[in-house]
């Protein structure tokens, strides 16, 4: 689906920015780059800045006019760092991303258009776009680097796409830990723990089995109050195991916390 979004760079002067834009696109799963009358392309600097995304540069389409770049597009977003005199439907990057995904879902083709480093897009070029997109930067210093602006818009496109596809936005590893952390311990795991806790407290001389007082019921009440997760239980069991080794004079195995 994302291959139906094209990034259009108009009359770019620095090839490094073309490379940076290609990298930003590839990071976010976009592949189609169209260059309108670039001042210096192909170029070694673009390849260097693309750092591994040079396949996007190789496949980039170079055209002479914006009109050619937009052929076949059903929705065009023009980005601008400044307010323009003629009022135009204005979106922020997040809104433009959800409109883009809706357009793709309807079978359309989308273009995200970016302007020149020094002068942006002309009014005429902006008037070819259905919407204007402004990244809400500080008005005192509103202009982002071209490749950075591409990154912001393509990131929002990716977030909207992941949501539309029902795909996770977090790495699987983080999720596994989070799940383990959220899973409560079972009664039998808790009983094992109390058994090891009691044995340890006896071994280190804290609990006298002949005069236990009410230590174990009090500790059960304490641990029972805090809703221990499986992950936390593993930590507590680990602490007890190492404590027992110390009490027995056994060597410790270094472990990750
Ligand atoms: N001096 C130019 C700035 C161009 S920055 C001007 O005043 O228009 C190069 C390109 O990066 C812009 O044409 C636009 O495509 C994008 N860009 C930079 N900052 C942006 C912002 N705050 N919102 C949207 N696009 C931005």
Length of the chain, in residues = 257
Mean pLDDT, the chain, integer: 93
- Locate the ligand 1 atom nearest the alpha carbon of residue 142 and give its number: 22
- What is the CA(78)–ligand 1 centre distance, in A? 10
Using most ligand atoms within 8 A of CB, pick from 18, 115, 152 the residue to mutate for ligand 1: 115
pLDDT computed for residue 236 by the predictor: 95
Using most ligand atoms within 8 A of CB, pick from 80, 85, 125, 147 the residue to mutate for ligand 1: 80
pLDDT computed for residue 201 by the predictor: 97
Low-confidence stretches of the chain (pLDDT < 70) are: 174-176, 254-257
pLDDT computed for residue 82 by the predictor: 82
Using most ligand atoms within 8 A of CB, pick from 77, 143, 155 the residue to mutate for ligand 1: 143
| Architecture of the domain spanning 2-165 | 3-Layer(aba) Sandwich (3.40)
pLDDT computed for residue 54 by the predictor: 96
CA atoms within 13 A on the CB side of 120: 18
Q: What is the DSSP string of 165-207?
A: HT--SS-HHHHHHHHHHHSBPPHHHHHHHHHHHHHHHHHTTSS
Nearest CA to ligand 1 atom 20: 81
8 secondary structure, DSSP code: E
Rounded CA separation 42/32 (Å) = 16
Going from the C-alpha of 198 to that of each of 32, 53, 138, 211, 216, the distances in angstroms are 65, 59, 61, 13, 7
Nearest CA to ligand 1 atom 5: 117
Residues with CB under 6 A from ligand 1: 79-82, 114-115, 117-121, 133-135, 137, 142-144, 146, 149
Peptide bond into 42 cis (omega under 30): yes
pLDDT computed for residue 184 by the predictor: 87
- What is the CA(207)–ligand 1 centre distance, in A? 71
* CATH code for the structural domain at 178-248: 1.10.8.590
pLDDT computed for residue 8 by the predictor: 98
Could you tell me where in the chain the CATH 1.10.8.590 domains are found? Answer: 178-248
Could you tell me where in the chain the CATH 3.40.1280.10 domains are found? Answer: 2-165
pLDDT computed for residue 256 by the predictor: 55
């Amino acid at each position: 689906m994302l291959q139906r979004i094209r990034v259009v760079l108009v009359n770019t002067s620095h090839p490094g920015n073309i490379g940076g834009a290609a990298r930003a696109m590839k990071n976010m799963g976009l592949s189609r780059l169209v260059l309108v009358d670039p001042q210096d392309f192909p170029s070694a600097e673009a390849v260097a800045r693309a750092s591994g995304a040079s396949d996007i540069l190789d496949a980039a389409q170079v055209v002479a006019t914006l009109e050619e770049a937009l052929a076949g597009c059903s929705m065009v977003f023009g980005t601008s760092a400044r307010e323009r005199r003629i009022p135009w439907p204005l979106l922020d990057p997040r809104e433009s991303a959800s409109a883009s995904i809706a357009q793709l879902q309807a079978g359309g083709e989308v273009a995200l258009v970016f302007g020149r480093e020094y002068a942006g897009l002309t009014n005429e070029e902006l008037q070819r776009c259905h919407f204007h997109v402004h990244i809400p930067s500080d008005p005192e210093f509103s202009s982002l680097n071209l490749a950075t602006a591409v990154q912001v818009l393509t990131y929002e496109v990716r977030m909207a796409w992941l949501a539309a596809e029902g795909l996770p936005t977090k790495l699987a590893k983080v999720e596994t830990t989070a799940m383990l952390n959220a899973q409560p311990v079972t009664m039998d795991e808790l009983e094992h723990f109390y058994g090891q806790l009691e044995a340890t407290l006896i071994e280190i001389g804290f609990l006298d089995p002949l005069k236990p007082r009410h230590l174990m019921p009090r500790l059960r009440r304490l641990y029972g109050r805090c809703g221990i997760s499986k992950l936390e239980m593993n930590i507590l069991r680990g602490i007890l195991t190492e404590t027992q080794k110390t009490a027995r004079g056994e060597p410790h195995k270094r472990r990750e916390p």
